[in-house]
Structures are given as structure tokens and as C-alpha cells.
Structure 1
Amino acid sequence: MNKYDITENDFNPTVLFASKSKLVEDGYYHDHDYTEITVILSGTGKYYIEGKNYDVKAGDVIMCNPGVMHQSLEANEKEPIVEFVAGFTHFHFTGMPENSILLNDNEFVLRMPLEGRQEIMKRCYEMVAEYETSHLGKYFMLKAQLMQIILLILREMQPVKETQKSYRFESYNKNYVVKKIISYLNENYACKISLDQIAQNLYLSPVYISKLFKEETGESPINYLIKIRLNRAKELLEREEHGSIRSVASEVGYEDVYHFSKLFKKYYGISPLNYSKKFSRQKQ
């Protein structure tokens, strides 16, 4: 038996809005007559809720039920907060007040584990994208996505069985994320790639991805990308018909041939042009 009984009649929320925004200044202390979920997509900062300060970071869920006073405080200038916010009403779970979701220990901030964080962020981005369209059935798609977010939060608050070791899931997911990043880099090295693009593709924060990737591989995602590109460039330069150095640079994702040549020489101790000539002589 689950802690929270959910029935078809009680779980039919009305979606009021969904948005994504960057916090550039402090908010004001206020409340709502509806429930508001905030998910921190990236960055770090502080929130002031019902007289208490909360440090928040990417993946955290902030739950403000009707009448809960709250405001956003200073954000980290180096890591400004980007948040997803959704407002909704008309729902009721057994054991909770109407139109309210009570977090464990009467807290207002829920720190999600990696797996749940990815799932919720994915749906947040999907809701924002859907909210900005005029597609058929838009409202019902938004409702379906919001219901999934709510269910993921409720599941996270369920007690974990002793046979489930959370650290094993965490370790597995770290390995999974790194493999996904490497796969993404190998498939898209010829395109413009930034850490923000990689992060958005995986629904995680750029800072977290960079830290995790370095812990698992010993280098940053961008350095790993450089190695993929330069290794591919070497393969192209070893062909008899490889075109100009500029075309090789372009084929591995570099528009600036000078920058490409500088990187190539830094990694291999020889310029791309001289490498091509040297390899040609060796084959003769």
C-alpha cells in the first residue's frame, strides 16, 4: 500500500502556467492561492521560505503550496540560477490538504538523486517547449507532463526498501551519463558543440556535467572533444586525397584553420601540413 493514495477523480490538476527563466535579481516575499513547483535547472543560490533560508542547486525541487510565503534571494554571479516554474490547482491526495503536496519533514525543498533529477528536468524542458507551441492538444500534453513531474516527486518521498542501495544506482547513472556524453561527442564532433549544449541534451547542469566527466575520465568534456577532433583530423591527413588543411579543419568542427593548426601542433608536435607531408613520404 502506497503512502499516498491517488485516484482518477482526485488527480486531475489544472495547469495554470509553465515557464523557464534566469534569476537576475532578488524576488519579493509573496504567496499564491495555487500550488507552485520550482525546479532548479542550473546554477546555485538561496531561497527564503516561511522565515527560513534554503541553499539550492541544480536538480532541487521547491514546493510552495497555497499561502506559503517565499522569495528568491541572491544568486551566484558565476553560476546564475535558471529555474523552471509551474503553477497548478484542483487536485487532492489522501493524507494531504487539498491542492497541496507536503514534502517529508514539513520541508519546502526536495533534493533529488541523479536519476530522478534527470527525469524531472527532462519533463520540465518538454513542458516549456510545449507551452511555447500552438500544437493540437497542447493543454492536455502539458497536464500529462506535469502529472509525471508530480508523480516523480511523490515516488521520491516514498521510503526506500533496504534491499535497494542508492549508491549503486548513483554509480550506475554516473557511468551512464559519461557514456552518453562520449557518444554525443563522437557523433557530433563536426558540429559546433558547447558545454551548455551537452548539458541541455542530458537535462543536467553544465557545472555538474563537467565535474562528473572529469571525475570519471580525468579530463573535461571539451578537452575530450578536442582529442576526438584531432584524432579524426590525423586520419583524414593520412589519406592520399584529403583536400586542403582548411577543409580538414572544417570537417572536424573548426572554422578557424589557424586555431586548428595551433591545436594540432600542440598535441602532436607537428603542424597538420608537415604531418601530411611526412606521412606521404613514409608511404613512398
Structure 2
Amino acid sequence: MVSSGQLSPAPPGNPATAPAEIDTVVLGDLASDPGWRRPVLLEQDLLVLATGGHGIAELDFRGLSCRPGTLLRVRAGQVLRCAGPQFDATVVRWEDGALRGLDVDPDAVPARLQLVGEDEDAVITEVSQLAVDCQRHHGVPAARGLLRHQLAVLLLRLSLLPGRSHPATRTEAATFHRLCREVERGYQHTRRVEDYAAQLGCSVRTLTRACLSVTGRSAKQVVDERVALQASRLLAATDEPIARIGRLLGFTEPTNFGRFFTREVGMSPGAFRAARERPLPGPVVRPRPPADAAGGPPGA
């Protein structure tokens, strides 16, 4: 039994080894350099459980305070940076499809939880056991089912913690959820709300009403903010040329991309990239609604 506030250390990561379907590492293994001088664009889904110290984690450019018992849910495609005061954390990460066939929704876990009391004890115990089994059974095919079910139980426990809100299903929320799914698939190709309305078989007015109901923003704002967020991620976490990033997001002319980004974020792409090695004081891109507001999309 693991007592409250204690957690068995995760095995150190090995960059030369391809990541397992489910594994655990320490927080520093995620960084491209020890000082976290720039955000890291993540390719896997993560749970980050703080075990010691205090600090700030910048998740998609939003500062989240962390102390022992803080748990972060990070989605593949998001950018993470943990600069400034340091904290220790165990990271559970998994590949896309690792939970396929299991009745669990990882998106039901909010971006940040502060665990306390018996809930903290239970989560620490499960994360600790998962870390031990990942190390002990690394590369053993027969252990795949064990690790999958351990992760599923952990995610289910987190989604059922007291205080979590489970809003009643509403027509507007369901429509908003469907729009976000379509935007995730199509934002690189179109920012026209009319195109998404046609794909969903509804009117632009219906989409706008749904977005206003759930987020207070129009459907066009929801679509544009998703594009601006992805642009911010690529500018901050990669060295791709600015013009290429614009093309990847559907802008045929760099000037059009520059005007769009400046309007949404408040600074030019070049200025945003130049500032990437400095900790950000707060949100830069207006955040999309939390994923759990309407069973939101991956990458929210």
C-alpha cells in the first residue's frame, strides 16, 4: 500500500527506445532540453501527476499551477512547457488506440484536478502500480491487457471524482460537440462555417446558436480559434518556416496568414515565435471551451 503523498518513482525514459503502447516516465523526460526553453508538441496522450515541489505548467499557453496532488490531463497535439519553479511529476502516457474496445472516455477527465484525501491516495496507488508494472513487464506481450485495464480503471476513477460536473445532454451541446469533431478533421482545409453546416446537415444559424449556448462565441469564432491555436502550437514548438505553417493550415498567401494570426492572437507570427523562449504571463490564444463542457473533442 502506498501512503498519501508518496509515489514510487517512474523508470527513467530512454530516448533511443520507441515508446511502448502504455508507459510511465518522469516529467523531465518530456522536455527537449533541461530548461524547457520552448514548448514541446506532444504526440501521445498523458496524465501528469505532480509528486513534489511547486511550479507552473503551460498547457496550450495557459498557466496551470501545480503542487503535490495536482493531476493534468494532456492530449496528443497539445503543447506543454514547465519552465520556472520546478516540480516533480510522474507521467503516464499512451498511444492512440491503446484503449480501443474498452468502455472508457479519456476526454471525460478535465485538464486539471487537485486531488485530496482518499481520492489522492487511490490515484497515487494506481499510478504507482502502473509505473511498477510498466517497468517490470516492459516488452512482455501478455502484459498488454493488464496495462490497458489498469489505465482504464485510472481514467474511470478520475472521471467519477466528486465535484465533476456532468451537464445534461442538450441539443445545443450535442450539436456543438459534433461541430468540434468536424473542425478537428477539417480545420486545415476550410474555415467556412457553411462547409461544416453542410457536412452536419444543419444550418449556419443552428451551429451559431449551439456555439453561443455552450461557449458564448459564434461558430466562426470557434473555428478560427482552433486554427489560431494550432498555428500557435507549431510556431512555438517547431522550427517550420512561417509560410509553410500557413500553407499547412490552408492559407495560400503568407500575408493572409499573417493578418489572420495577428487578428486572433494580437501579435504577428514572427513576434510570437520570437517570444517562445520566454514564459508567457497568461493565455495568448483565446482558449476554446474545456473539453468536458460538451464532451469536447480530442486536442481541445
| Fold-level similarity (TM above 0.5) | no
TM-score range, shorter chain: 0.3 to 0.5
Choose between structure 1 and 2 for higher RCO, CA contacts under 8 A separated by at least 6 residues. 2
Q: Taking structure 1 as the reference length, what is the TM-score of the superposition? A: 0.41
From the CA coordinates, give the structure whose radius of gyration is larger.
1
